[in-house]
DNA sequence: GCTTGACCTAGAGTTAACTATAGGGATTAT
DNA sequence: ATAATCCCTATAGTTAACTCTAGGTCAAGC
């Protein structure tokens, strides 16, 4: 079973432009072509793209993802590097989660702040000593 | 107590360039100046910048943050808008947390995948039917 | 056999958020 | 009183990750 670029774009919720851009940047060396040059995506290619999307969502830049893809095609000799990379990513995502939880706390405070102010009809209920908001 | 732009930059872990950029974009209309034009930051200004950083960390673009700052200087008549904005941000951060947790799961899977492969000395231990990685 | 629509490449354009430079003024240390 | 160090504005440059356009190929349907 193979898929066209527009089918893959729809499935992964990104544009055809973006997919071709990823390919140009070396993120998809495994995607095969018809004799006339049209890309043919296999199921395993879509799985690979999901990992790429996962790495992207951790904030990893495309050039670094390319490095990982290269390691993958070099075989078992790069297993250690790849493992280390995922451990690093894990640490980064843990930090992001912590950060996002702090952000959530502040947002929740602000929600309460404005709920109270709205009930009172004025922000003055919070005796902020000439604060900005 | 007032602070110079470089003191604030150090405190908030951003550059002097970035602070001046925020000011130019209308994020800091409340910061006062000396007669000769030098910015003087008050403690309340630093608190405001922390909220701005919080909003930025949720992915809110600077132009939208500017809109919020404008609402703030319009007083109580914009309380409802500001409350709604924080509720929206809360929903967005909740979605981001969910997304990031999914990402973490995938990363954890990959960590285990590579740990096992590394122990076996080869990726072949995972009988991936001609997968990419 | 020709039109339609999906595919292709190369390369230019876009956007956000800085980042840096040039040129100049004010304050502090010696 | 002069050199260093901070501050300022205006404006140009950078970067990543697309996004779009132009010009062309190819397979299917009428």
Q: What pLDDT does B129 receive?
A: 56
**Looking at the structure, do residues B41 and B9 belong to the same domain, yes or no?**
yes
Position B53 in a domain: yes
Identify whether B81 is part of a domain.
no
What is the residue range of A56's domain? 2-89
Average pLDDT, chain A: 95
User: Number of structural domains, chain A?
Assistant: 1
Assess whether B54 and B9 both reside in one domain: yes
Please check the confidence at residue A81 and state whether its pLDDT lies above 80. Answer: yes
Residue % of chain B over a pLDDT of 90: 93
Burial category of A93 from C-beta neighbours within 10 Å (exposed 0-12, middle 13-18, buried 19 and up): buried
Spatial distance from the CA of A9 to the C1' of D21 (Å): 20
CB contact under 8 A, A57 and B100: yes
Distance in angstroms, CA of B19 to C1' of C22? Answer: 20
Nearest Cα residue to A102 out of B93, B15, B100 = B93
The answer to ipTM > 0.95 is: no
Please state, in angstroms and as integers, the Cα–Cα distance from residue B98 to each residue in A50, A103, B37, B80, B95, following that order. 17, 14, 46, 27, 5
Number of H helices, E strands in chain A: 5, 3
- Residue B9 domain-assigned? yes
Q: Within a domain: residue B110?
A: yes
Same domain, B69 and B126: no
Neighboring chain B residues of A67 at a CB cutoff of 8 Å = none
d(CA A59, CA A130) in angstroms, rounded, equals 38
Q: Is residue A78 part of a domain?
A: yes
What share of chain A in percent tops pLDDT 90?
93
pLDDT digits (tens, 9 = 90+) for A19-40: 999 999 999 999 999 999 999 9
pLDDT for res B126: 87
Look over chain B and give the mean of its residue pLDDT values, rounded to a whole number. 95
Structural domain includes residue B26: yes
């Amino acid at each position: 079973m193979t898929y066209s670029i527009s089918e893959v774009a729809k499935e992964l919720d990104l544009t055809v432009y973006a997919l071709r851009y990823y390919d140009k940047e070396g993120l998809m060396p495994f995607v095969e072509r018809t004799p006339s040059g049209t890309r043919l995506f296999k199921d395993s290619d879509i799985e690979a793209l999901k990992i790429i999307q996962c790495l992207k969502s951790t904030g990893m830049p495309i050039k670094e993802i390319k490095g990982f893809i290269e390691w993958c095609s070099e075989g078992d000799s790069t297993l250690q590097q790849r493992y280390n990379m995922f451990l690093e990513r894990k640490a980064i995502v843990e930090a992001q989660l912590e950060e996002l939880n702090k952000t959530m706390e502040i947002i929740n405070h602000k929600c309460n702040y404005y709920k109270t102010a709205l009930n009172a009809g004025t922000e003055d209920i919070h005796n902020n000593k000439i604060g900005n908001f």
